[in-house]
Chain A
Amino acid sequence: MNLKHLAIGVVCSLGSIPVVGLLLQQLAEAAPNDIFFGWDFYIEVVVTGLLQGVMYALVALGFVLIFKASAIFNFAQGAMVLFAALAMVGFIEMGLHWTLAFLLAAVVMIIVAILIERVVLRPMVNQEPIILFMATIGIFFVLDGLGQTIWGSNVKALDIGISQTPWFVLQGEFFPGGLRLIPTEVVAAVVGALTVTLLAVLFQYTKVGRALRAVADDHQAALSVGIPLKFIWAIVWSVAGIVGLVAGVMWGTSLGVQFSLSLIALKALPVLILGGFTSIPGAIVGGLIVGVGEQVGEVFIGPLFGGAIQDWFAYMLAMIFLLFRPQGLFGERIIERV
């Protein structure tokens, strides 16, 4: 994947927004009792979807990191998000400021990553990906149970000083009531953009990044040329843990820190199918497409089907993309010689 592909992807995605709007306008004229359409409302739905998409992308990033470096689909990513957020709230409850709690939770996630590497991954070097995948199912249950045992299963409010009151911007003739923005989501969008930039630099321009990519291609070959596999795995699981912490903080601020946070991994799957399992920008673009797609689908097409379509709509959208690009929008095409 290069910048040209990314630019084409972003331009195509943005270009489709007015086209879809025009189609929905026609649909609303044909079925005025079921579908309500106004351009101001449509743009508000799209903006809401874009911001929601960044939240999905934050979760998807953790999956991508681990898949890139070890070709493992990490079933435990949702549990890592929950575990990290629980650790942070636990430190806040001990009286620490949230910034310090965040740093300590990051340290906890690094320790967890080192433990996973030593206890689970190291004995499985050079095993089939499916074996490693099954090991991550075990990690899911351990983290899930351990987190609740240590910090309890009650809902915990997480306050990092972001206002909960929505902003209404661009008030005027086009948006009479203003365009609604949720501060948490705007912060998440900025944090998401920063995280992606940092990770892209890490993967593309550093020695560790190159080693990560080599390990992803072939464990044994990477070992044979002197790449320290154990160290690389510990690094990548640590980074995925910290990205999980960032996602946990953003989602936890909105919903409270509770077990359901581990279920947001389900929202990352269509994002990954769409964006590709190996592309960091793909996770972001995939997140934005899924976010907008499901919001627009639910608001404008949902009423025709009785509503509650957004979950399957996201998967359907991903499946359609899969028909044309099995490796996802930005995923690497796998060619195996026989």
Chain B
Amino acid sequence: MGLKSLRWAAAALALSVAATATPVVPAKAEGDQFIPLLVYRTGPYAPNGIPLADGFIDYFNYVNWKEGGVGGVPLSWEECETQYNNDRGVECYERLKNRGASGATVINPYSTGITYALIGRATEDKIPVLSMGYGRADASDGTVFPYVYTAPITYWAGADVMVQYAREQEGGSLKGKKIALVYHDSAYGKEPIKTLERLAEIEGYELSLFPVAHPGLEQKATWLRIGRQVRPDYVFMWGWGVMNATAVKEAASVGFPMDKFIGIWWSGAEADVLPAKEAAKGYKSLNITGVGKDFPIVQDIVKMHEEGEGLADPANIGSVLYNRAVVNGFIITEAVRKAQEKFGQRPLKGEEVQWGFDNLAITEQRIEEAGLKGLMGPIEITCANHEGAGSALVQQWDGENWVAITGFIDPNRKALWPEYKASAAQYAKEKGIDPRNCD
């Protein structure tokens, strides 16, 4: 290769690096409580990843702006781009776990695959993993998964809430009804199957399964079978990214009634319905947080932006996934606050923050005091129970906005916990884990 070619190659490389660079907020000075952020602002899942990342940085910035940090300890953070890839997720974790004054406070993988990949590593490194509404449902058992938290709710509990809601819509019984599950053909998409099969035996409905291959751009065959052959009474969906928008569009095109189509909370963001426009009207999904901007904390963040202190794109404020990240951020800061009660107001290690999580009780009173009333339900995490007894609501797309149409619905945890325990015990046996004593 000649000098000229080398020059061109160097220029092309520089251009590609510049073009793919993502905004990174550097860690602040020593003495801060450091929180690594595994984000995906680029790639196929960026439309979902951007509002999530924006919610996190705005909330942490808000805590510093409003209170000077948690208990006087400023928060710092650094973004690492995973593009939703497991290998990049692990690389980001390894790169960031020792940053800051005391290492990583907690990891939020925002991917079931990355969560699976990090459970062993984070447990060994004594860094809590908060997989809020994703990841392994059986990780709710804190005796087997001491460093993994699933609060406020798991996929299995989400499936239970969906069935409860459908049953209520049908006047109290699903006997003889047909339910189809359209799911991303991955570990994530398969999570609810066992629960839905168990409930099918109890409730008397017939369950049909429709896997969709990644990334889910093509679902015509699936929806032809649903619309023309199976004709279910309800369709539940465990989708992600472009699969959601495609499914909504295809459902409309086969004339499936949108109000009988319910997605999990990862299938109910603005990006999932906007491409379908009017056709998506009436589509429902679960959500684990409140909808919109009408909450004191969100209004406060808007104020912060008006004063020129905001970091995120203001257009994302109040969107479904932005709000979810704000609640996620709040749970983290509450765990740090709790841990400070025991270990003092200084930058805490992951191991110390784990104690904060294990003893975290976010009451209705605390939620109201912090300005999150209606944005989340109460949570009570213990050493043994890492799910924290949270709940989910049903929202509906009105053509312009998501609107909450129910209050928070509690899943039937009496039935779910034996399932969590059995699955966690199996995991412990396979991995040779001696469950910790939480009595």
Chain A residues packing against B (C-beta within 8 Å): 36, 41, 44-45, 48-49, 52, 119-120, 123-124, 138, 141-142, 144-146, 148-149, 153-155, 157, 159, 164-166, 177, 180, 182, 254-256, 258-260, 263-264, 267, 294-295, 298-299, 302, 306-308, 310-311
Contact = CB atoms under 8 A, between A and B. Distances in A.
Nearest to B40: A153
Contact of A155 (B12, B15, B275): B275
Contacts of B4: 123
A153 B218 contact: no
Interface string B1-39: 000110010011001101111000000000000000000
Given A119-B11, A142-B16, A299-B224, 6 more contacts: A119-B12, A120-B8, A255-B245, A258-B242, A258-B271, A259-B44
A142 B19 contact: yes
Interface string B397-416: 00000000000000000000
Contacts of A44: 224, 228
Task: List the 7 shortest-distance A-B pairs measured between CB atoms, nearest first.
Answer: A256-B275, A145-B19, A153-B46, A298-B221, A145-B20, A308-B211, A260-B242
Nearest to A298: B221
A199 B403 CA distance: 49
A47 to B, nearest CB: 10
Contact of B278 (A164, A182, A294): A164
11 contacts: A45-B221, A48-B221, A119-B11, A123-B8, A145-B42, A256-B245, A263-B44, A267-B217, A294-B218, A308-B213, A310-B218
Interface stretch (B97-105, B149-157, B251-259): B251-259
Given A123-B5, A142-B15, A310-B218, A154 B185 contact: no
B50 interface: yes
A294 B225 CA distance: 14
Contacts of B252: 164
Given A138-B16, A166-B255, A267-B217, A255 B249 contact: yes
A310 B213 CA distance: 8
In which size bucket is the chain B interface? Answer: 35 or more
A52 B44 contact: no
B46 A148 contact: yes
Given A182-B253, A255-B245, A308-B213, A41 B228 contact: yes
B277 interface: yes
B218 A267 contact: yes
Contact of A295 (B44, B221, B229, B278): B221
B367 interface: no
A311 B229 CA distance: 22
A213 B25 CA distance: 51
A91 to B, nearest CB: 19
Contacts of B296: none
Contacts of A164: 249, 252-253, 276-279
A259 B43 contact: yes
B230 to A, nearest CB: 8
A120 B12 contact: yes
Nearest to A146: B19
A142 B15 CA distance: 7
Contacts of B70: none
Contacts of B213: 308, 310-311
Contacts of B211: 306-308
Contacts of B18: 145, 149
Contacts, number: 148
A309 B195 CA distance: 24
B16 A307 contact: no
Contacts of A311: 213, 218
B304 to A, nearest CB: 22
Contacts of A145: 16, 18-21, 42
Contacts of A52: 218, 220
A274 to B, nearest CB: 17
B222 interface: yes
Contacts of B295: none
B383 to A, nearest CB: 39
Contacts of A259: 42-44, 46-47
Contacts of A141: 16, 19-20
Contacts of B15: 142, 146
Contact of B221 (A138, A254, A299): A299
A3 to B, nearest CB: 31
B210 interface: yes
B215 A302 contact: no
Contacts of B50: 153-154
Interface string B263-298: 000000001001111110000000000000000000
Interface string B186-230: 000000000000000000000001111101011011101100110
A21 B8 CA distance: 56
A24 B320 CA distance: 45
A166 to B, nearest CB: 5
A210 to B, nearest CB: 31
A145 B11 CA distance: 15
B185 A308 contact: yes
Interface centre among B20, B252, B278 (most CB of A within 10 A): B20
Contacts of B276: 164
A319 to B, nearest CB: 17
B283 to A, nearest CB: 14
Interface string B43-54: 110110110000
Contact of B275 (A45, A255, A267, A306): A255
Contact of A263 (B47, B215, B225): B215
A307 B271 CA distance: 26
B324 interface: no
Contact of B224 (A45, A306, A307): A45
Nearest to A140: B16
Contacts of B279: 164-165
B246 interface: yes
Nearest to B12: A138
A28 to B, nearest CB: 11
Contacts of A45: 221, 224
Contacts of A258: 44, 46-47, 242, 271, 275
B402 to A, nearest CB: 15
B41 interface: yes
Nearest to A149: B19
A45 B229 CA distance: 12
Contact of B246 (A138, A165, A180, A255): A255
B245 A155 contact: yes
B274 A256 contact: yes
